[in-house]
Structure formats: structure tokens, C-alpha cells
Structure 1
Amino acid sequence: MKKIIILIGIVFFVTSCSSNRFVDSWRNKEVLTFKPNKLLVIGMTDNVTARRVFEEELRREFVIRNINAVESTNVLDIEFTKSKKSENEIDEMIKTISKAGFDAVVISTVKGVEKRRSYYDNYNTLGYRWARFGRYYYWYQDIYFKPHYYDVYKIYHVETSIYYINEQDNKSLVWVGALDLVNPQTINETINKYVSKVIKQLENEKLIPKD
């Protein structure tokens, strides 16, 4: 049941990132290729626009690779993701989408958000060679007196998972990938970069065909 709860734990990052990096991935070795009959792409967020953009972009990439995918906004009620659901409600949802022909789900979830701080100015590696304390103090006092000397930014730790929803436990989880989205700014750019990273990793691991 925990796997099903994770299925619903989708989040959506509402901004884009200036950079992103793939952290890690895990693939179920018992699943040789990912060939669902009908794949549901779910995004859970209060931002309906962001949800639609994400689902449409990821669906498009799967369809290009001859995988029948459908956005959850065309299947699930928009209100479904706005409140916490019981296990019974989740089970009923899964039964409903199974009857509609879906046998797999792809989900993305933000596992955590981390704040970090960096310098606006480049770090001077020659600092340790300065012989006079006065020069050292003069140079680095800006840390205290420049209001924007530090740049505080956020890193979104995002996880995407693929499940077969009608398989036994040893074959239900197909793949999990973790990415870091750094310093988000705009919706469309973040989604495009994120989806591209996920699709490329799935191709590299030979779970889906290249376009």
C-alpha cells in the first residue's frame, strides 16, 4: 500500500531552474522493457497551469516513442489532488483508472527543498598568500557591508517513478530517478529541461526507445 501512496504523492515544481543535474536512478532488473498498454501521467499541484504544462510535455515525449500516454487532467478530477486521500479512496481511484485501460503510471514528486548560499564575488584563491592582515581584512569586509554579497538560492530534490499498477510487488516499481533542480525561475523552461533529463535517462537505460 505504501507504493500506492507514493503514486499519489506527486508534486509539481512551479518554477524553472537555471541548471539541473541527474543524481541517481534505480531500475527493476526484472522489467526488461517498459511497454505499457496505457500510461497515466500525473502531476499534483495547486497550480493548474503548471500541472497541465508538465503533463502535456511528458505525455508528448512518450507518444513520440510510441507509448500510449494520457494526462491525468483528462482523467482525474482537478479537485482530487487538492486534498489528502484515505487508502480506500486511493484504491478506488486505482480501480477506476484500471477499468479505463491504464496499466502504468509515471509520477514526479519533490522530496525536499534545500536552501543554499553562495558568494556573488569569485573566491580569491590568492587570499592565503597575502602577507599583511590589513589587506586581507580590507578585501573580505564586504562580506558584512555589501547587502547582496551572498546569493541565497534553492535546490529542489525531485524524484520521478514509474509503476505498473496491476503487477505483483516485485514487478510493480519499474524505475526511479532523482534529479536536483537548481535556482528555479520560470515554469516552461524548468519543465522542458526536467522532462528532457528524465526521458534521456530512460533511453540510456533502454527502458524506452529513442525517438
Structure 2
Amino acid sequence: MVDSWRSQEYNNYKPKKVLIVGVTENLTARKKFESQLKTELKIRGIDAVESYDVFAPTFTSLKQTEEDIEKEVEKISNNGFDAILISAVKGVDEKTTYTGDWYITDYYWRRFGRYYYLYQDVYFDRGYYNKYKIYNIESSLYNLKENNDKSLVWVASYSVVDPSSINTTVNDYVKAIIKSLENEGIINKIN
């Protein structure tokens, strides 16, 4: 977790029925995320439902207008949901790290020959730089029973660094979300 915020207007807020929405093009990742988060919330006594069980397939595959989204939120609220937890990839950064020796002292910086001698491997060693991706993901919890612009209960930002498998990444991410919600007192910890 990189950062989080909780509205002070919802100090005692405890969701009872939550719609989980994963926003990603990767259908497998979305289903795994929504299913695993549902399981974790149910363990804590919260009725949770995956969005692919509620939304029509066209809802996520087509661009929606604000009016379409508001109609869907009203329908969800009328079906007893009091909260939506949505998670979306906000951006992907590609990073490069230097994997050479970093034993340079001030002395080596003073002479060009010594400096160049130590760093010339950048031209010869193909493994000198390592590229990886950081996925910036944001999760938000909204109170559907509030009919105003202040329905945001909680939001947190996460950085997922160079994910190697969907299962491991989803597992770690769901654990981070649950821990954040527990620490904020929004959901109960299990013993």
C-alpha cells in the first residue's frame, strides 16, 4: 500500500452487502480478484457479490454514459447493496534499475580514467540494466445509501511490482486490501 484515506464522516460505517468491481481488460484476473475478495469478506460476515454476477456482460464491454452508470447504481441499491468496492489499474510505470557494482567512493569520481574503467561494462554486459513494471492500482469503497457527492468512505493506492503470476498477485493484493480495511475499522478482523 502506498497511501490511504478514510472519510471522517463514516467513522462507524460497516458495509453489510458489497458489490465488488474489478476494472481490468484481463477477464481471468478480474474474476480471480472478485472471487477471492468475496471469499475474504464473507469470512468476516459481509455479504459480497462479484460484479460479473450482477452486471450484464455489455456493461463492462461497452463504454457507458453517466446516466447509464447512475441507473445501474440505483438498480444495485434497490437490490439491497449498501456499498461498492471498486478496484482499477490507474497506470503502469516501466522502471529500469542499474545492476552494476556500486562501490564507488568519492576518490573514483575525481578521475575520469578510473570512473570510465569501472562503468564501461554498460557497453559490454547485456544484463547491466533490469526493466520491470509497476502497476498503480486504486481501490475505493463507496456508501450507496448516501445520495450526495460525499459517498466515498475509503480509498487506497497500491503498487504491484513486476507481477509474475495472476494467482500470486491477486492473493497478495486481496490480502493488502483486507488488511487496510481492517486497520481502518471498516471490516472486522477475524481471530
Return the TM-score normalized by structure 1: 0.82
Q: Does 1:34 align with 2:34?
A: no
1:169 to 131, 143, 148: 148
RMSD over aligned Cα, in angstroms?
Answer: 1.8
Distance 2:144 2:156 in 1: 18
Report deviation, 1:51. Answer: 1.0
Partner of 1:90: 69
Q: Does 1:152 align with 2:136?
A: no
| Structure 2 residues not aligned, in runs of 5+ | none
| Structure 1 residues not aligned, in runs of 5+ | 1-21
2:23 to 31, 35, 44: 44
Report deviation, 1:120. Answer: 2.3
- 1:32-74 residue CA offsets vs partner (Å, 9 max, x unmatched): 2332231000112232211110001111111111111111111
Equivalent position SS for 1:160: strand
- For the Cα contact (< 8 Å) 2:15–2:187, is it kept in 1? no
**Greater mean alpha carbon deviation, residues 172-181 or residues 197-206:** 197-206
- 1:155-179 residue CA offsets vs partner (Å, 9 max, x unmatched): 1111100001230336511000111
Structure number with higher relative contact order (C-alpha < 8 Å, ≥ 6 residues apart): 1
Report deviation, 1:192. Answer: 0.9
Equivalent residue runs for 1:170-185 within 5 Å: 171-185=150-164
Q: Give the counterpart letter for 2:54 in structure 1.
A: V
Overall identity of the aligned pairs, in %? 48
- For the Cα contact (< 8 Å) 2:4–2:156, is it kept in 1? yes
Q: Give the counterpart letter for 2:88 in structure 1.
A: T
- 1:110-162 residue CA offsets vs partner (Å, 9 max, x unmatched): 22211211012342244x33376444322211112222311111111111000
Equivalent residue runs for 1:16-27 within 5 Å: 22-27=1-6
Q: Give the counterpart letter for 1:200 in structure 2.
A: K
Partner of 1:115: 94
How many correspondences in the alignment?
189
Partner of 1:124: 103
Distance 1:139 1:53 in 2: 47
Q: Give the counterpart letter for 2:64 in structure 1.
A: K
1:205 to 179, 184, 191: 184
Distance 1:150 1:51 in 2: 32
